[in-house]
Structures are given as C-alpha cells and as structure tokens.
Amino acid sequence: MELDTIAAISTPMGEGAIGIVRITGDKAIPIADRLYKGRRKLGEVESHTINYGHITDPKTGETVEEIMVSVLHGPRTFTKENMIEINCHGGLVAVNRVLQLILNEGARLAEPGEFTKRAFLNGRIDLSQAEGVIDLIRAKTDRAMNVAMSQVEGRLSGQIQKLRQELLETVAHVEVNIDYPEYDAEEVTLGLLKEKAGAVKTEIDRLLQTASQGKILREGLSTVIIGRPNVGKSSLLNSLVHENKAIVTDVPGTTRDVIEEYVNVRGVPLRLLDTAGIRETEDVVERIGVERSRKLVQEAELSLLVVNYNEQLTEEDEKLFAVSKNRDSIIIVNKTDLSREIDMDRVRELAGSRPVITTSLLKDEGIDELEEAIREMFFEGGMESGDLTYVSNSRHIALLNEASRTIDDALSSAEAGMPVDMVQIDITKAWELLGEVIGDSVNESLIDQLFSQFCLGK
C-alpha cells in the first residue's frame, strides 16, 4: 500500500504560543526543504535533530515565520514514516500560513486521526493503543489520563495477546488428543478445557470488572444533590466546584435545563447535574418534590442527600432517605456551626450502610471528609493501584463479554459430551473476538470510523 504525504496542525486551535505543523510520509522532508531556509538543507541533517531557520514563501521569497523544525527519519517515528515537525512561534494565522504553503507543495491535509491511523496501518501501534490515544485526548482527570496512557503503552494489548496465546494452546492440545484416540479423548479434553479455557475466562471476567470504573473515569460519575429547600444544596455544589479543579468540558450544547459541571474529586471525575436548578437565585422558590428526586436519583450514579443539622428531620427528609436507599449515596448533615436539632441516631439508622458526613459549608468544614468518602466509594479495594489494567472502551467491553460467553458455551458443550470439534469452534471464536480488541480481524470501515473520532492532527 502506497501512502501519500499528509500534514496538519497538531496543537489545539488558537491555544498556546507555539503552533506545531506535522508532516508525515515519503515527501515530508523534500517538501519542508522547499520552504525552509537554514544553515543546512533538512535533507542533509541527521535524524532526530531540531533545526533553527525560517519558512519562506517560494513564490515571493518573503519570510513567513521563524521556526524550529524537527527532522525525524522513519521507522523511529510515531507513524514509522519520515516526519517533519515545524514549531511556529506566531499565532494561529502564522501556523495556518505555514500549513497552507506545505499543502501547496503537494502534501494532503490530514483527516482527523489520520496520523494515528497511519501509525496503526504501519504496524507501529495496535487498535487498542490507537483507541487509547482517543481517550487520552478526551481524558478528564489525571487518573483517566493514566488509564488511557497505559492503554497507549499497550498494557491491555499485552494481556489480550497472552490470553489469545493460551486459547491457541488449548486448541492445539485438544487437537493432539483427537489425533491420538488411544487416549480417553473426551475425558482429557474436558479437563484441559476446564483448566485452560476456564482460566482465560476468569481473566476476561476480571478485566470486565474494571469496566465500570473505567467508564466512570472516562465519562464522569453522574451526580445529583437532593434535599429540602434551604438545607445547603447550592452551597454544596459551589464548594465542590470551587474546592476542586473544574474540568473543562468540550461537550457542546449541553441541554438547557441540565447544566453539567465537571469536577475532579480526588481522581473521581464528578459530573454534577444541576438538574434541580440549584444554581437559581434563592428568591425563586426552589422545590423539587420527592417524586422528581426519585427520578433524578435513579438516573444518577451517585446521589448526595443533604439534611439540616439545625432542624428536626421532617417527613420529606425521611422520604428522601428512602428514595436514595438502594443507590450509591452519601448523607450530608449540614450546618453543624448551628445548634443541633436533628436526631443523629435516627439519621444513622435511616442511612444504614451509607456514609454520613457532617459539614458546615458556611465555615468550609467537612468537605475533606466528604471528598474522602466519595473517593473511597469508587476506588475501594485497591482499584486505583496503578498496575491494574482498566477496560474502559465500550467496544472492548462488548467484545470481552462476548468472548467470555463463548468460552462458557465451549465449557458447557464439553460438559454435555458434545463432539470435540464443536467445542473447538467456540474456542476459536473466542480467540477471534479477542483479536478484534487489538484490531487483528476488524474490517476497514470500523477502522475508518474509529479514527475519525480523533482531533485533527493527532
């Protein structure tokens, strides 16, 4: 396959003082050389060097931009091809002008994700690593970034390859048993399958268990704040937002009646839903009934129920406890700077196993404890330990689920005394499904669709 030379701006549009234009392909260096004026021709400098010079317009001879340019010879590059990276100092206009000149010299404007696609096509990375790059671009917290990063580094790929290898060995062993019928083939096969394929299934299931955490890290944990009027819901929203680094969301046109606010609470990205309009001014009567709260709680992954330390529990409070009972929720008893009127024993009783945190949002007290409770809720049992592979991509999750089911089928067929080659078909299918995770057997259009999700120039 002959790949043409492509170029794109690879820094965020309009941001930062430096803009980078990247070119990859056979003609990357000659194209850059036609525009570059420096001490030596780029075609003559060593690979992996940074060179100072200027970009000039070959038509007018005019100097367009002062630049630093990296010359990178394949295959030790991101795409495995020859690459040029031009660092421009000027703003958006200058960067665009440099790109335009490059295109005039015969490079094609890269499609979104095409650099990464090329790295994949040239065998530099596999599909799950490429998907990791997509996630990396979208990562909303440092922790989500780490998950994406480990995927880029090939951690998931490595595990999948290991599992595929084990399935292959299983098939091979079963094959041997068929060829030597003097063994009690059925018996031996069943034992083998249970041991080897069973172990693979266990491992796949373990990976799947990380999926919900992975999804949360990617998409944020949808969180609602409920409680009677005046207990401190708006204050809670505000302190969570102000205490924590707000995460900039790139989701355009967020629905009008639901304002979303992303905050990073100790590595847990909360997607705070201001559904109740708790941001509205206090002279608007703020009231969401118990029924509405029930719906909100059911749709959210985490609910924060606020009650007032300074008042006795009301019937409405009790109903709200019930509404959030079987969901992930945390009880916040607010206004501890005032006198206690609430029955704390009753609060604990209603809370059951849910954490109860006391706060004075007015005095900034108790926020740390609340944040710790949120963190514990989602990263208990060492989930956060850095060496765990998270599965967070929905395509991977679907494939792993199917592979796990297929192995199950194989095991029960073997158990039921089905012919060995039937069992082998299932094992082979599971092997293929795992292959799809790393892009071994996926079709062209899936690949195109995946890579089009990238930002331009990545």
Scanning 102-110, 124-132, 227-235, 438-446 for contacts with ligand GDP by CB under 6 A, the matching segment is: 227-235
Which residues touch 348 (CB under 8 Å, ≥6 apart)?
356
Residue 250 annotated in ligand binding: yes
Scanning 32-40, 144-152, 343-351, 354-362 for contacts with ligand GDP by CB under 6 A, the matching segment is: 354-362
Q: Which of 11, 222, 360, 424 binds ligand GDP (CB under 6 A)?
A: 360
229 binds ligand GDP (CB under 6 A): yes
Instruction: List the one residue out of 141, 200, 199, 156 whose CA is nearest residue 393.
Output: 156
43 binds ligand GDP (CB under 6 A): no
Cα–Cα distance measured from residue 206 to residue 259, given in angstroms and rounded to the nearest whole number: 35
Interface of this chain with ligand GDP, residues 133 to 162, rule: CB under 6 A: none
Q: Which of 86, 88, 200, 361 binds ligand GDP (CB under 6 A)?
A: 361
Closest to Zn ion by CB, 79 vs 234, is 234
Q: Which of 9, 221, 231, 302 binds ligand GDP (CB under 6 A)?
A: 231
Given ligand GDP, Zn ion, none, residue 271, with its beta carbon under 5 to 8 Å by kind, binds none
Six-digit token string for 240: 């969570």
Closest to Zn ion by CB, 77 vs 234, is 234
- Long-range residue pairs from 409-416, CB within 8 A, at least 24 positions apart, any chain: 410/193, 410/197, 411/193, 411/194, 411/197, 411/198, 411/201, 414/189, 414/190, 414/193, 414/194, 415/190
Cβ atoms of 197 and 173 within 8 Å: the answer is no
362 binds ligand GDP (CB under 6 A): yes
Cβ atoms of 300 and 273 within 8 Å: the answer is yes
Q: Which of 18, 168, 246, 338 binds ligand GDP (CB under 6 A)?
A: 338
Residue 234 annotated in ligand binding: yes
Closest to Zn ion by CB, 159 vs 234, is 234
Six-digit token string for 395: 């395509």
296 binds ligand GDP (CB under 6 A): no
Residue 314 annotated in ligand binding: no
Single-letter code of the amino acid located at 319: K
CB of 235 to ligand GDP, least distance (A): 3
Cβ atoms of 226 and 305 within 8 Å: the answer is yes
278 binds ligand GDP (CB under 6 A): yes
How many CB atoms neighbour CB 242 within 10 A?
Answer: 11
Cα–Cα distance measured from residue 144 to residue 347, given in angstroms and rounded to the nearest whole number: 35
CB of 211 to Zn ion, least distance (A): 35
CB of 256 to ligand GDP, least distance (A): 20
Cβ atoms of 73 and 416 within 8 Å: the answer is no
DSSP 57: -
Residue 441 annotated in ligand binding: no
Residue for token digits 């790929």? 157
Known binding-site residues equal 22, 85, 124, 230-235, 249-255, 274-277, 458
Known binding-site residues for (6S)-5-formyl-5,6,7,8-tetrahydrofolate equal 22, 85, 124, 458
Task: Give the footprint of ligand GDP on this chain (CB under 6 A).
Answer: 227, 229-235, 278, 282, 286, 334-335, 337-338, 360-362
